[in-house]
């Protein structure tokens, strides 16, 4: 258990003086408790955290990275560390933690509060965190991987706004530019699919929030939709998803080196429905995993040599 200290204000990750006076911390949505689990022993060696929407995809990423890092044991099952809750799934493979976050800002925000505290309680250092996801592209071939330069809100402003105690608080969505460039280089090393750096629009909804014409409600025309997407394109936006802004804002507050890597499943200027075959969509979804797997392997090999 982490002893009560007065360090949390200065420590990396958290910035909450109230944590110091808590005898134990219950990470409710992970079903983990600092009173009953030795966090430094369980998680202290974590250096890379990969997060993504779907529990199934994050299990498959854990299996993939185990193979890439030569840590795979034949027929090994990677246990879900949060198996007694169905809110999120978490897998650990050596120094890599793979965690699901569900869909949308509220879901990823709850997960990140608990994940950031987990890293703090475990006394982790030098952690890099990447969101691996899917998105709708603007003016890109489907299957292109977009490394986010900066997340923008639905009015094309690079910010995340949240109401706290009844007041609007605006936070920066700046990500680590060097990490984005390193990931772009990994895309070039692999040369398997197109990879670009661009702005990402983060919305509160998949349908009207992303200017789709195929939701249950729609009060605008195809022309209105195209004009909106053209404005996004002019603001440097090349893909649209639903978590990057709060992810960037919370990682920045935590001093975590963070990146967002999302594949585009379709070109939104050409349509709204995800009509590609299951196999095509599945192979697209593996691209962020392949790119980030390559990055992690490269970093770990470099640290072994130095
Ligand atoms: C991408 O895909 C999901 C919606 O289908 C959402 O979580 C996102 O950001
Ligand atoms: N995820 C999104 O948020 N939008 C899309 O168009 C596709 C995936």
Q: What is the CATH number of the domain that holds 255?
A: 3.40.50.1580
User: For residue 286, what pLDDT is reported?
Assistant: 98
Instruction: Give the model confidence (pLDDT) of 37-96 as tens digits.
Output: 999 999 999 999 999 999 999 999 999 999 999 987 776 778 999 999 999 999 999 999
Strands 128-137 and 257-267: parallel
H or E segment at 30? none
User: For residue 72, what pLDDT is reported?
Assistant: 77
The residues lining ligand 1, judged by C-beta closer than 6 Å to any ligand atom, are 53, 103, 133-135, 206, 241-243
Q: Which ligand is nearest to the CA of 246?
A: 1
Cross-strand bridge partners of residue 97: 49, 92
3-class SS string, 167-206: EEEEEECCCCHHHHHHHHHHHHHHCCCCEEEEEEEECCCC
In a domain, 11, yes or no: no
Instruction: Give the model confidence (pLDDT) of 233-278 as tens digits.
Output: 999 999 999 999 999 999 999 999 999 999 999 999 999 999 999 9
Instruction: Give the model confidence (pLDDT) of 104-150 as tens digits.
Output: 999 999 999 999 999 999 999 999 999 999 999 999 999 999 999 99
User: For residue 1, what pLDDT is reported?
Assistant: 44
In a domain, 9, yes or no: no
CA distances from 21 to 6, 8, 13, 106 (A): 9, 10, 17, 27
Return the residue matching tokens 């990823």.
Answer: 108
Q: How far is the CA of 276 from the centre of ligand 2 (A)?
A: 13
Q: How far is the CA of 135 from the centre of ligand 2 (A)?
A: 4
Instruction: Give the model confidence (pLDDT) of 289-301 as tens digits.
Output: 999 999 999 999 9
In a domain, 90, yes or no: yes
Confidence of residue 3 (pLDDT cuts 50, 70, 90): very low
In a domain, 177, yes or no: yes
Q: Which ligand is nearest to the CA of 142?
A: 2
Cα(293)–Cα(129) distance, integer angstroms: 12
- Residue 170 phi/psi, 5-degree rounding, is -105, 130
**Residues 6 or more apart in contact with residue 140 via CB below 8 angstroms:** 146, 194, 196, 238, 239, 264, 267
Q: Return the ligand 1 atom nearest residue 133 CA.
A: 1
Q: Which ligand is nearest to the CA of 102?
A: 1
Containing domain of residue 115, as a range? 17-305
Q: How far is the CA of 150 from the centre of ligand 2 (A)?
A: 17
Nearest residue (by CA) to ligand 1, atom 3, is 103
The residues lining ligand 2, judged by C-beta closer than 6 Å to any ligand atom, are 134-136, 206, 210, 240-242, 265
Task: Identify the burial level of 174 via C-beta atoms within 10 angstroms of its C-beta, where 0-12 means exposed, 13-18 middle and 19 or more buried.
Answer: middle
Q: Which ligand is nearest to the CA of 106?
A: 1
- Asked whether the whole model's pTM tops 0.85, one would answer yes
Confidence of residue 6 (pLDDT cuts 50, 70, 90): very low
Q: How far is the CA of 241 from the centre of ligand 1 (A)?
A: 6
Instruction: Give the model confidence (pLDDT) of 163-212 as tens digits.
Output: 999 999 999 999 999 999 999 999 999 999 999 999 999 999 999 999 99
Q: How far is the CA of 264 from the centre of ligand 2 (A)?
A: 8
In a domain, 224, yes or no: yes
Cβ atoms of residues 264 and 135 within 8 Å: yes
User: For residue 11, what pLDDT is reported?
Assistant: 60
In a domain, 3, yes or no: no
Q: Return the ligand 1 atom nearest residue 135 CA.
A: 1
Q: How far is the CA of 171 from the centre of ligand 1 (A)?
A: 22
Say how many domains are in the chain.
1
User: For residue 8, what pLDDT is reported?
Assistant: 43
In a domain, 55, yes or no: yes
In a domain, 58, yes or no: yes
């Amino acid at each position: 258990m982490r002893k009560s200290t007065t360090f949390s204000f200065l420590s990396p990750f958290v910035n909450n003086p109230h944590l110091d006076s808590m005898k134990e911390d219950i990470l409710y949505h992970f079903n983990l408790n600092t009173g009953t689990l030795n966090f430094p022993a369980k998680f202290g060696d974590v250096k890379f955290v990969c997060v993504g929407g779907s529990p199934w995809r994050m299990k498959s990423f854990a299996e993939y990275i185990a193979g890439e890092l030569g840590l795979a044991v034949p027929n090994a099952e990677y246990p879900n560390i949060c198996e007694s809750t169905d809110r999120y799934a978490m897998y650990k493979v050596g120094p890599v933690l793979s965690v699901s976050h569900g869909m949308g800002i509220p879901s990823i925000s709850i997960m990140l509060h608990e994940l950031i505290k987990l890293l703090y309680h475990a006394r982790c250092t030098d952690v890099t965190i990447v969101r691996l996801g899917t998105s709708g592209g603007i003016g890109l071939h489907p299957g292109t991987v977009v490394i986010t330069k900066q997340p923008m809100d639905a009015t094309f402003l690079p910010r995340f706004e949240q109401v706290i105690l009844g007041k609007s608080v605006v936070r920066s969505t700046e990500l680590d530019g060097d990490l984005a460039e390193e990931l772009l280089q990994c895309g070039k090393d692999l040369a398997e699919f197109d990879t670009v750096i661009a702005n990402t629009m983060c919305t509160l909804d998949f349908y009207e929030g992303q200017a789709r014409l195929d939701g249950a409600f729609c009060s605008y025309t195809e022309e209105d939709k195209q004009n909106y997407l053209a404005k996004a394109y002019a603001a440097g936006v090349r893909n649209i998803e639903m978590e990057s802004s709060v992810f960037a804002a919370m990682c920045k507050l935590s001093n975590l080196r963070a990146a967002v890597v999302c594949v585009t499943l379709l070109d939104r200027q050409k349509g709204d429905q995800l009509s590609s075959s299951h196999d095509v969509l599945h192979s697209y979804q593996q691209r962020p995993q392949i790119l980030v797997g390559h990055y992690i392997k490269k970093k770990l090999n470099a640290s072994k040599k130095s």
